[in-house]
Structure 1
Amino acid sequence: MAKLIIALAGFGKSANRYHLPYLKLRSQIKIKTVYDHRLRHHQDVQTELKAAGVQLTTNFEDVLADPEIQMISITTPASTHYQLAKEALQHGKNVLVEKPFCETFKQAEELLKLAQEKGLVAMPFQNRRFDSDYLALKHVLEVGFVGTPLQIESHMDHFRPSEQFINSEPINGQFYGLGIHTIDQMIALFGQPRQVYYDIRAQQNQGNLDDYYETDLFYLNLKVKVTSSPLVAIPYPSFRLNGTKGSFIKYGIDQQENDLKAGMMPEAPHFGEDTPTAYGHLKYLNGNGDWIKKDVITPVGDYGRVYDAMFETILNQKTKLVTDQQLLLEMKILEAGVATVGPHVTTFA
């Protein structure tokens, strides 16, 4: 089997939690080089990588100049994504870019055009398309248990009080950093909304960088709410779906992240599995008009499937997991959200 030779740019939490553990399981992908401007952290992982023959460098030019490297996975801070991705594409490298892909629609359009001109692939790392709770919601929608969907509510909340004051650009805020995931999940399911309502603000420290968002996406007969707050002690459902024939509710986020935080790796037995008490619940009318109640077994998520998709696109010319049209739409939605201070509505169709 042909191999995809890649490099990682960045060696922080993202690379070590959401990328490397999954890449270790993919024999069709070879990590040749890891670049980080300092390489100060995760010394144990560095030792492991060196023992496996992976090159470590603090010079990005080493990656750009290597003719064997076909793709660079960019996991550096958000403000660096655009410039590093541009340099990589200019040097003939495909790019997989952590979210947010970049800061503006114009930047995204430029990078996609450059990739197209050079016959390369540029795509954002939207790993939460493979969250288990989202996959459960997607299954319920595909089977059609609840009929025509009318309302969906998506929560990614935490309880993380903070007095820290951060004065920075929106690309470093919660809406760009986490909102892009919850928006992407819905764009993947339903496409372009007609209108979007925004409430984006600093909930904990007035005048701070945003840490809260509530975004409503309006379709023809469907309203989708995606929201996140840092001050939720009693959790909402991660997803609630109401339709013309019933409802679905799911508590608890994907277990992959919890397992990874605990040091459990994807190759371990039962990695990422939900407990039965966390399964989603359905109540719906069947064809005979009877009310049916049932639990929905949570699918096991796998963030590494983003890399599987990139492999197929680069080597076998398969359609991109996140299409250019989806990426550009999402950049428009992000930009419109922070373009105006205070609650507001933007029309997209």
Structure 2
Amino acid sequence: MAPIKTCVVGVGLGGLTFHVPFVLALPHLFTLHAVMERNPAAPGGKLQARFGEQAAKGVTIHRSFDAVLADPEVELVVITTPSETHYELAKRALQAGKHVLVDKPVTAHFSQAQELGALAKSKNLVLYAFQNRRWDSDFLTLKKLLALPADHPKSLGTLFEFESRFDRFRTELKGTWKDLPLPANGLTYDLAAHTIDQVLVLFGRPQKITAMIENIRGLGSKEVDDCFTIYLHYPPRPAAKGLQPTSFTAVLRGHILSVRSSQIRYVVRGTQGTFLKYGVDVQEDQLKVIPSPAGIVQDQAYGVEPEDIWATVENVGPDGKVVKSVWPTTERGQYIKLFENVAAAISEGAEQLVKWEESAEVIELIELAYQSAREERTLPVPPRA
């Protein structure tokens, strides 16, 4: 089928780093028909400034969302604008008969996400959430470790704690819309949207949730959080080797005042071992400086994690002693898989690898986390409807 004519709405860091490069890197699947930039400073706008005249050649610059919706050539709208706008823009695009890929957080409220899902279904349109970190190299590699049989020497055994972190050290505000007390702003919406999604992929829906969320620096509006700890409580898991069934908790953390040269990413503890990982997937840093989108496909170094941040696994050996070994990040980061699946869902009716209901569930849990923090109590997570 013909490439899908795509408009990327928003050409800030998100649009030019996480979306435009993949649309351009997959010309057999997508055509970058247009971008929305309200006040381009020069012909070709930010797209040309970032990727050159050839990349911007033939690309329409729409200056309003009304113009995007009125363009009959646009088949797919990619929404990468401030978080508070996601619901309204996605709704209008669906009503106009466009397929939609929307950045996370998909909405501010669970009810809004449900509404969008129902609207897309009623119009037989693809509505897709940009949960790109399902294709982080370390997450893909960790999934392989967790899939090992219990008798494998590097198996972690029965898990009792899974910790996932996105920590940073930043003592000042960024000076962007993310600092403002607007719907869906704050570190929890920004980063827990990723960590919750990964936990749901691995372990499914929890039974209870406990959260602590705050503005720990005391900068800007107190309503815009910069620190979170979220506990997702799961039912006990049967343990191996005659041990009693254990409780299982997923601990999700994001801290803005973490002074480290290499931040902790994962700590996974089980009855037979512990997995420890520092550093983050390299794709974001690579995409910020990549000279040509073709490098996503052609550059053998793209998505490959350096050995100095590979994980370690410590297991209890047959003699009862702890054995430490490296767990190599053998999987390449593959954000491109998300875009390939978006195209297949639109062109072929393929099953979505990121189902909209799953991303709506992320927003549901974020809202419950904020409620738990406000009320200072553990809340039950209602069974899936």
TM-score, scaled relative to structure 2: 0.83
Distance 1:294 1:46, change over 3 A: closer
Distance 1:101 1:218, change over 3 A: same
- Separation (CA, whole Å) in 2 of partners of 1:189 and 1:77: 29
- Separation (CA, whole Å) in 2 of partners of 1:253 and 1:236: 8
User: What residue number does 2:14 align with?
Assistant: 14
Q: How big is each residue's C-alpha offset from its partner over 1:90-112, in whole Å with a ceiling of 9 and x where there is no partner?
A: 01111110011011111111111
Alpha-carbon contact 1:170-1:338 (below 8 Å) kept = no
Q: Which is greater in Rg? A: 2
Instruction: Please show how residues 76-115 of structure 1 align to structure 2 within 5 Å.
Output: 76-115=81-120
- Separation (CA, whole Å) in 2 of partners of 1:39 and 1:196: 45
Distance 1:39 1:216, change over 3 A: farther
Among 174, 199, 206, the alignment partner of 2:212 is: 199
Deviation at 1:46, TM superposition (A): 7.0
Greater shift, 20-29 or 157-166, is seen at: 157-166
User: What residue number does 1:147 align with?
Assistant: 157
Deviation at 1:126, TM superposition (A): 0.6
- Separation (CA, whole Å) in 1 of partners of 2:55 and 2:7: 14
- Separation (CA, whole Å) in 1 of partners of 2:89 and 2:134: 24
Give the number of equivalent residue pairs: 349
User: What residue number does 1:284 align with?
Assistant: 315
Amino acid in the other structure paired with 1:321: L
Q: How big is each residue's C-alpha offset from its partner over 1:126-175, in whole Å with a ceiling of 9 and x where there is no partner?
A: 11111112112112112242122221111111111116794503511111
Partner SS for 1:332: helix
Greater shift, 47-56 or 211-220, is seen at: 47-56
User: What residue number does 2:264 align with?
Assistant: 237
User: What residue number does 1:31 align with?
Assistant: 32
User: What residue number does 2:3 align with?
Assistant: 3
Alpha-carbon contact 2:163-2:252 (below 8 Å) kept = yes
User: What residue number does 2:280 align with?
Assistant: 253
Amino acid in the other structure paired with 1:162: E
- Separation (CA, whole Å) in 1 of partners of 2:350 and 2:158: 31
Distance 1:343 1:32, change over 3 A: same
Alpha-carbon contact 1:163-1:204 (below 8 Å) kept = no
Instruction: Please show how residues 308-323 of structure 1 align to structure 2 within 5 Å.
Output: 308-323=340-355
Matched, 1:48 2:53: yes
TM-score, scaled relative to structure 1: 0.92
- Separation (CA, whole Å) in 2 of partners of 1:19 and 1:216: 32
Q: How big is each residue's C-alpha offset from its partner over 1:46-103, in whole Å with a ceiling of 9 and x where there is no partner?
A: 7536643211110323321233322111001111111110110001111110011011
Distance 1:62 1:279, change over 3 A: same
Partner SS for 2:352: coil
- Separation (CA, whole Å) in 2 of partners of 1:38 and 1:54: 15
Q: How big is each residue's C-alpha offset from its partner over 1:4-40, in whole Å with a ceiling of 9 and x where there is no partner?
A: 2211111110011111222222121111111122335
Alpha-carbon contact 2:167-2:264 (below 8 Å) kept = no
Greater shift, 328-337 or 86-95, is seen at: 328-337
Partner SS for 2:128: strand
- Separation (CA, whole Å) in 2 of partners of 1:6 and 1:22: 11
User: What residue number does 1:136 align with?
Assistant: 141
Alpha-carbon contact 2:209-2:368 (below 8 Å) kept = no
- Separation (CA, whole Å) in 1 of partners of 2:75 and 2:19: 17
Matched, 1:159 2:164: no
Among 345, 349, 357, the alignment partner of 1:325 is: 357
Alpha-carbon contact 1:6-1:32 (below 8 Å) kept = yes
Q: How big is each residue's C-alpha offset from its partner over 1:301-334, in whole Å with a ceiling of 9 and x where there is no partner?
A: 1222211111121222222222233122212111
User: What residue number does 1:213 align with?
Assistant: 228
- Separation (CA, whole Å) in 1 of partners of 2:37 and 2:206: 38
Greater shift, 310-319 or 261-270, is seen at: 261-270
Partner SS for 1:318: coil
Q: How big is each residue's C-alpha offset from its partner over 1:269-315, in whole Å with a ceiling of 9 and x where there is no partner?
A: 41232222211112335799896543222121122221111112122
Alpha-carbon contact 2:168-2:263 (below 8 Å) kept = no
Distance 1:278 1:163, change over 3 A: closer
Greater shift, 317-326 or 197-206, is seen at: 317-326
- Separation (CA, whole Å) in 2 of partners of 1:164 and 1:52: 33
Runs of 4+ in structure 1 over 4 Å off: 163-167, 262-265, 285-293
Distance 1:170 1:80, change over 3 A: closer
- Separation (CA, whole Å) in 1 of partners of 2:58 and 2:180: 41
Unpaired runs of 5+ residues, structure 1, are none
Q: CA RMSD in A?
A: 2.4
- Separation (CA, whole Å) in 2 of partners of 1:277 and 1:102: 37
Partner SS for 2:38: coil
Alpha-carbon contact 2:34-2:61 (below 8 Å) kept = yes
Greater shift, 209-218 or 279-288, is seen at: 279-288
- Separation (CA, whole Å) in 2 of partners of 1:274 and 1:331: 30
Amino acid in the other structure paired with 1:111: L
Amino acid in the other structure paired with 1:37: R
User: What residue number does 1:337 align with?
Assistant: 369
